[in-house]
Amino acid sequence: MMMKTRRRAGSLLSVAVLAGVLAAAPQGAFANEPNCGTSGSSTVCVTLPASTLTGATTIGVTVTFPSGRAPVIVTWVPSGRPDIYLMTKSKPSPEFGDYSFVWPTQKYLDGSGVLRVQVGSTAATPVDTLVTLSNGNTTDFQHSLSNWGSYLPGAWSSLADPVVAAVGDAAADEVNPNTLAATIKATSPALFLYLGDIAEQGSFTENLNNYGASALDAPAGTLFGAMASSTQPTLGNHEAGHVVDWTDYWHGRPDYTSFTFGGVKFLDLDSNASMKRGSPQYLFVQDQLASSPACVVTYWHRPTINKSKIAANFKRMWALLAANGGDLVLNGHVHNMTQYVPLDASLLATAGAHMRQLISGAGGHTLANASIDPGGHIQWSLGKTTGFLALTLVGARNRGMATAINWEFRDINGTRIGAPGSFGSITC
């Protein structure tokens, strides 16, 4: 489903202001010479390859901080139209060594304006650089193919049971997330579930730079995008204001769907939308569970239970799943690794409880402490450690049907975390 992109409110760049910026632009600013200025107390220099840009273009951005680092915010301010948020960088890009980025200008309408860089907040003094976009986009951006269904997983014919990797809250183009992406790719999972949140807002520009160039668009992608052809993502809360951008990156993928792999029904849901009884998502899941195989794995971004706090919006969905064959619920959002005890339809740890919630939000971006719950819902939790979740679909080898699911949490090197409670198994 498609939704209108929500754009950050901002001023319109008038013709008079545009002319003033042009008059003030330093000589040679568009000829590989930096346009420098001060934002807050930091010196910002922006380098463009030309005054008119087409396609994906590298924009040079260096920032000198007098003391302490602050977020670097980039905005496109087209003449006569609202400001358009591009990206926020909290740390330098490992690839560039500074705050440079690739701007996919084909995802924005043609026109002239300024590329605005601010340090700390959008209230800071901007460093504006004049630029014109020219991609033939007069009414819309250049869309990716709408062929997401072509990338749903097929039959698994290997003689080994398939492994499914899962993590969220990672894509930020920082050292730890990028290392984790390479580690997961090197393990060659049969399937990768990205559990949501592309820092900071999931714009077109952040999708490309922070999640990575998509393997759906080229033979080889980058960062997490290198696994795009084997990825089944879910929508995070950070991307909620840029659903159009997320949908386009994933080639028209709907914000909730389902698929079967290895005899396991996977339900990919949208935690930004209602899951209450009678909602479209609730009715969708109800229909899916009516004909599900033995194993059911559901995943969405925000957890139903965080420590002992229960999210009211998800209670009915949890109850529906727990009462109708649900086995595992995978979430991100909380930036650690946490394994909950079996919980029943009322989220109580009763003797007959079966379904488990596993949180894999330790993708490496702003790691959190371990979760503690005096109420006894948590079996194990680890904080301040980058890692991911690996599920083994037991019995799914050689086109079989899984009858159980084993799991383990692994660190940034792909090594199993051997602490008691950091792994487990469930019979479907």
DSSP designation for 355: B
Examine the fold and report which residue of 133, 157, 192 is the final residue of a domain before the chain moves on.
133
Report the number of distinct structural domains present in the chain.
Answer: 2
pLDDT score for 25: 38
Q: Are residues 107 and 215 in the same domain?
A: no
Examine the fold and report which residue of 133, 156, 187 is the final residue of a domain before the chain moves on.
133
Q: Are residues 217 and 126 in the same domain?
A: no
Compute the distance between CA of residue 279 and CA of residue 256 in angstroms, rounded to an integer: 13
**Bridge partners of 410?**
388, 416
Model confidence pLDDT, tens digit, residues 135-192: 999 999 999 999 999 999 999 999 999 999 999 999 999 999 999 999 999 999 999 9
Report yes or no on 139 lying in a domain: no
Model confidence pLDDT, tens digit, residues 100-142: 999 999 999 999 999 999 999 999 999 999 999 999 999 999 9
Model confidence pLDDT, tens digit, residues 37-62: 999 999 999 999 999 999 999 999 99
**Bridge partners of 204?**
none
Report yes or no on 35 lying in a domain: yes
- Helices (runs of H) and strands (runs of E) counted in the chain: 6, 23
Q: What confidence tier does 293 reach under pLDDT thresholds 50, 70, 90?
A: confident
Q: Among residues 283, 233, 231, which one has the least CA distance to residue 255?
A: 233
CATH number of the domain residue 114 falls in:
2.60.40
CATH number of the domain residue 303 falls in:
3.60.21.10
Does residue 347 carry a pLDDT above 60? yes
Q: Are residues 212 and 114 in the same domain?
A: no
Q: Are residues 171 and 129 in the same domain?
A: no
Report yes or no on 323 lying in a domain: yes
How high does pLDDT run on average in the chain? 92
Compute the distance between CA of residue 151 and CA of residue 172 in angstroms, rounded to an integer: 24
pLDDT score for 371: 97
Q: Are residues 72 and 202 in the same domain?
A: no
Alpha helices in 145-235 (DSSP H): 175-186, 204-206
Q: Are residues 241 and 340 in the same domain?
A: yes
Model confidence pLDDT, tens digit, residues 392-423: 999 999 999 999 999 999 999 999 998 888 99
Structural domain span for residue 38 = 15-133
